[in-house]
Amino acid sequence: MSSRLLDSLVTTDALAGVFSDAAVLEAMLRFEAALARAQAECGMIPAAAAAAIEQAAAAADLDAEAIARAARASATPSIAMVAALADRARRIDPAAGDLVHRGATSQDVSDTALVLLLLRAQPILAHDHARLADALVRLSDEHAGTVMLGRTLLQPATPITFGLKAAGWYAAIDRSWSRVRRAFEVACVLQFGGAAGTRAALGGRATDVARALASRLHLPLVPPWHTDRDRLGALVTACALYTAAVGKAARDIALLMQAEVGEVSERGGGSSTMPNKHNPSSSIAAIAAATRMPGLAAAFLGGMIQEHERAAGGSQAEPATLAAIVQGTGAAVAALAGAVEGLSVDVDRMRANLDATRGGALAEHAVMLLSTRLGKREAQAHVARALERAHRERRRLADSLADVPAVRSVLSDDELRDLGRPESYLGDAEAIRSELLGRTAAAALD
């Protein structure tokens, strides 16, 4: 039920279990049992046969390795699975063997099984997303007033609050989760079309059987989608967008945790050789999972141009790709949730890094103030010179500007004081934070 070593960083234990051989077989067998029951319900096969098939399916003693091997000969695991189930059913009720998988096609069972696995994966992801979202909202609220450097192109920009930054992480991740949630709902539908998608083998009872089957599996009934993979594709790409948002927050944390920045710190994260090491291990695990997602999404998308009523290659590798994508998404969110829940924030260091710009973070402010009075070019020249002087003399921009009579004379005392106070140059930060957290609508941003 566990992940494999090579995959350990791109899944979680719980999700590795969801896509394990036992779970795959169980889902396939559940389809076949439900199909038999549905046909019995519609009077197509004897109830006793359906009971035998269900009983055989419940035994769940199929040989996953043998089926995997047989899958390579027929390009589908379904044929060998059906044969094995039929053997077992026949031993219980001689008539039942012939009635396994009746009227269905290989892809009906493999696709529906995949859907059943997705339905098991969804709450695992939802749980970790909820943990992450809660932790981010708490973090944002706690640091609504924590002033820090905004950074653009990896260089100091103007001040922001850490609360705003965390709210930005939250909003992108939560917006992306909405897409994932909707995509799961849309994708988790019954596949049932028979040989060429008409359900012809079921004769006049086709629609009834389809409905009964959907009902038994608690799956919506839609037209067969053997070569229309857009619902799965939408789930795949929603996962890719979600992990990108997760990865963005994780990279920010890893950057803020650099020793030279030191503004936040993850719990844990030791090294195999260096006692001084304190690594952003969880963020890195999240980034790792996110890093391969664009390629994995492309791997799925690349198979979507499928031939006629069943693909000649495009869909046969989908399960492996889809399982990797869902597990990678789960690995990313679980890792980041852990990182954020245990994050310690060094408020003093944030202030110190701001102060280390010697007012550079407020240089734009100074230019905005001065340019209406002195003209933009002169304002820019004054500020640039004063900033240079401040760095040379280890003073602050505000003090350095105050020394220049032409500048001092056009600034009020309050303005001058504000040029030394990053908290006076936060603009709409708090209003935007509130909107990012969904507390105020865009339409009422104040």
Tell me how many degrees the CA angle 54-47-202 measures, rounded to the nearest 5.
90
- Single residue of 134, 142, 309, 399 touching its own copies by CB under 8 A: 309
Give Rg (Cα) of the chain: 30
**Nearest-angstrom CA–CA distance, 56 and 171:** 48
- Single residue of 59, 60, 91, 98 touching its own copies by CB under 8 A: 98
Q: Does 78 bind its own copies (CB under 8 A)?
A: yes
Q: Does 21 bind its own copies (CB under 8 A)?
A: yes
The least distance separating its own copies from the CB of residue 94, rounded to whole angstroms, comes to: 9
The least distance separating its own copies from the CB of residue 344, rounded to whole angstroms, comes to: 15
The least distance separating its own copies from the CB of residue 7, rounded to whole angstroms, comes to: 5
Nearest alpha carbon to residue 50 among 81, 93, 84: 93
Q: Does 268 bind its own copies (CB under 8 A)?
A: yes
Q: Does 104 bind its own copies (CB under 8 A)?
A: yes
Q: Which span (31-39, 95-103, 123-131, 409-417) binds its own copies, by CB under 8 A?
A: 95-103
Nearer to its own copies, 274 or 405 (CB): 274
Tell me how many degrees the CA angle 304-308-309 measures, rounded to the nearest 5.
95
Nearest alpha carbon to residue 229 among 173, 304, 286, 172: 304
Phi and psi (nearest 5°) for 321?
A: -70, -45
310 is catalytic: yes
Q: Does 289 bind its own copies (CB under 8 A)?
A: yes
Q: Does 410 bind its own copies (CB under 8 A)?
A: no
The least distance separating its own copies from the CB of residue 322, rounded to whole angstroms, comes to: 8
Segment 133 to 162, residues that bind its own copies, using CB under 8 A: 150-160
End-to-end CA distance of the chain: 51
- Single residue of 134, 252, 341, 346 touching its own copies by CB under 8 A: 252
Alpha-helix runs per DSSP H in 42-98: 47-59, 64-74, 78-92
Identified catalytic residue from 69, 74, 271, 417: 271
Largest CA distance in the chain: 104
Q: Does 429 bind its own copies (CB under 8 A)?
A: yes
Structural tokens at position 289: 């999972």
Nearer to its own copies, 248 or 389 (CB): 248
- Single residue of 138, 181, 292, 351 touching its own copies by CB under 8 A: 292
Beta strands in 217-265 (DSSP E): 264-265
Q: Give the side-chain half-sphere CA count within 13 A for 17.
A: 6
Q: How many residues does the chain have?
A: 446
- Single residue of 87, 364, 393, 403 touching its own copies by CB under 8 A: 364
Nearer to its own copies, 23 or 402 (CB): 23
The least distance separating its own copies from the CB of residue 302, rounded to whole angstroms, comes to: 4
- Single residue of 40, 125, 132, 297 touching its own copies by CB under 8 A: 297
DSSP string, 166-181: HHHHHHHHHHHHHHHH
The least distance separating its own copies from the CB of residue 92, rounded to whole angstroms, comes to: 16
Q: Which span (1-9, 125-133, 137-145, 405-413) binds its own copies, by CB under 8 A?
A: 1-9
Question: 344 has which bridge partners?
Answer: 265
Nearer to its own copies, 135 or 425 (CB): 425
Phi and psi (nearest 5°) for 152?
A: -125, 140
- Single residue of 123, 145, 203, 342 touching its own copies by CB under 8 A: 203
**Nearest-angstrom CA–CA distance, 263 and 259:** 9
Task: Kindly give the interhelix angle for 21-41 and 64-74, rounded to the nearest 10 degrees.
Answer: 80
Q: Does 271 bind its own copies (CB under 8 A)?
A: yes
315 is catalytic: no
Question: Is residue 112 within 8 Å of residue 59, measured between CB atoms?
Answer: no
Q: Does 414 bind its own copies (CB under 8 A)?
A: no
- Single residue of 126, 195, 410, 416 touching its own copies by CB under 8 A: 195
Binding footprint of its own copies, residue count (CB under 8 A): 192
- Single residue of 58, 60, 384, 406 touching its own copies by CB under 8 A: 384
- Single residue of 224, 340, 343, 345 touching its own copies by CB under 8 A: 224
Structural tokens at position 165: 């930054």
| Exposure string for 15-24, b = 16+ CB within 10 A, e = fewer | bbbbbbeebb
**Nearest-angstrom CA–CA distance, 346 and 9:** 28
Identified catalytic residue from 310, 358, 396, 433: 310
The least distance separating its own copies from the CB of residue 58, rounded to whole angstroms, comes to: 19
The least distance separating its own copies from the CB of residue 190, rounded to whole angstroms, comes to: 10
Reduced to 3 states, what is the DSSP secondary structure of residue 382? helix
Q: Which residues are catalytic?
A: 271, 310
